Every structure is written in structure tokens, then in C-alpha cells.
Amino acid sequence: MAARTPSGRRVGAVRPELADLLRPTGVLPQSAGSVAEARELLARDGAVVVAEPGPGPEALPVVAAQVYGDRLRQLFAVRPLRQQAGELLGLHSDGAYVVVDVHGRTVSLRDPDEDGLLQRCVRPAPEGGDSFLVDGYALVDALATGCPELHAFLTGTDVDYFGGWQTAPHEVPRTPLVRRLVEHTRAGRRVVRASETAVPVPREPCAAEHEAHLDLWADVLATAVDVVPHFRLEAGEVLVVDNYRCLHGRDPFTGQRDVDVLTVLTADAW
């Protein structure tokens, strides 16, 4: 059964009885040899690996422009992640609410609905740090028959997306961000989300029932991590992920691990 950490994160437990249902939802991204192939694989699988066009973090905007073309609308700052060690990073979808005031002008440094994620491997960890991906569309479709009550909750119930934080980071909005964990954009694009800090909306009369569904969702994600294939990015490789479709994470690691991360908004967002 899922548990809550002191910070407010919901951490799931592995449920062996769900293994066969979840195992086929794993994604092993293929490598593309051309821009055209990268676009095809991203559309087909929800993720693709490409070779960096040159060394340095500036490779990420170049890859984004190549893969998304004229559909690219907004790039956020490249985030260099340099770590000596890290705990397990469970399945999640990227997105953060970071808005600042710059000389009286509102500027978004991040967006909770970023629909593209690019990760460039600078240096893989000497031990651990492998990545894993789950096709959220396949996962939700599997739950429709394998766990229909959870499916109904994910697709039909609002939650407070960041509300579980006990000591919220600066960027977390004070006003509840209310949304469904599976919904569609106004253009009909399906969005599958995972947040470790989702809780029932304020004053929800069925809060206990919703907490139970959120615990089960966390268990589903933990079980998926346990059964789907894991893969290793090597130095110079860039992973491109459809952030509306694929949930992603990585194994714990020791030793230096360096990656650069870029999130984007495309014309297909919202």
C-alpha cells in the first residue's frame, strides 16, 4: 500500500498481481538515424533516442527544432543536472509552475503543461541511473479493463495536483491546481499525468475514497517500474519524450551522473 513521506510525496508499493497487466506498457526507445525517422518514431512510440548534433547543452534546442519543426512554440531554460548520487526517481510527468515578475512583466520559467521533454546524457553514472518509460496511453487503456474503478477515477475526477506538499517548494502555486490525471486538450490530445503530491481537492466530500484511488495509482506506477524494461543512455545521446503520453523515471545511482534537460511547448499543447 502506498505511503506518504514527511515532505508529502506519495510513494507506491509493488503489487505483484498487477505485473502481467502492466508489463506490456513499457517503452524501449529506438535510436533514429535521421530527423525524419526521429519524427516517425516519436509519433509511433512516444519516445526516441537521437545523437547530439554537437557537444554542449545548446544541442538540446537544436534537436528540439529539428524534431518538432514549425510546431515548436516555446523553449524553457536548459537545466544542467550534475549529481554525485541519487535515489530512485519514480514514474512522473514533467511540468512545474514557475512564474516570476521581470520589471513588471510576467514571465513563465516553467509550465505545468509542458508537452515535450529532451534529456541529453553528458556522463552516465558508473553504477545505476538507468532510465525507464511507460506508455501512458497503453497503461490507461489496460486499466480500463484490468482496473475499471481506478480508470474511472483517473479520467473522471479532479485532484489538487500539487496539494500534498507539506513544505512546498517556492514554485508550487498557493492556489490549488485542480485537474484530472487523465484528460484531453481542447484539440483532443490525451494527457496522462503522474504527480507524487496529488491529493483530493479541498473540501472534497469523498476525500477518503479519492485518497484510496490515489494510493492505488501510486502502487500501479511502482509496479510498472518493477516490471518494465530499463535502458541506459550513453554520453552524446539525447532522449526525446512525448510528455503527454509517456511517464518516465530513473534508477538510483552512485557516482557522478551529468545530464542536461530541456522542456518545451509545441502547437499540440493545451
The DSSP H or E segment spanning 143 is: helix 136-146
Report yes or no: 164 and 3 within 8 Å, Cβ to Cβ.
no
CATH number at 3-264: 3.60.130.10
Pairing of strands 10-11, 26-27: unpaired
Band the pLDDT of 106: cuts 50, 70, 90: confident
pLDDT tens per residue, range 118-148: 999 999 999 999 999 999 999 999 999 999 9
Dist CA 132 CA 30 (whole Å):
13
- pLDDT of 172 > 90? The answer is no
Could you give the angle at which helices 207-227 and 136-146 cross, rounded to 10 degrees?
120
User: What is the three-class DSSP state of 141?
Assistant: helix
Average pLDDT on 180-203 reads 94
Pairing of strands 26-27, 131-135: antiparallel
- pLDDT of 173 > 80? The answer is no
What is the rounded average pLDDT for all residues in the chain? 95
Q: What sign for the dihedral angle of Cα 86, 128, 93, 193?
A: negative
Average pLDDT on 216-229 reads 98
C-alpha cell at 167: 513544505
In this prediction, what percent of the chain has a pLDDT beyond 90? 86
Q: Looking at 20-29, 38-47, 102-111, 125-134, which range is the least confident one? A: 102-111
Domain map (residue ranges) of the chain: 3-264
The residue type found at 136 is G
Band the pLDDT of 169: cuts 50, 70, 90: low
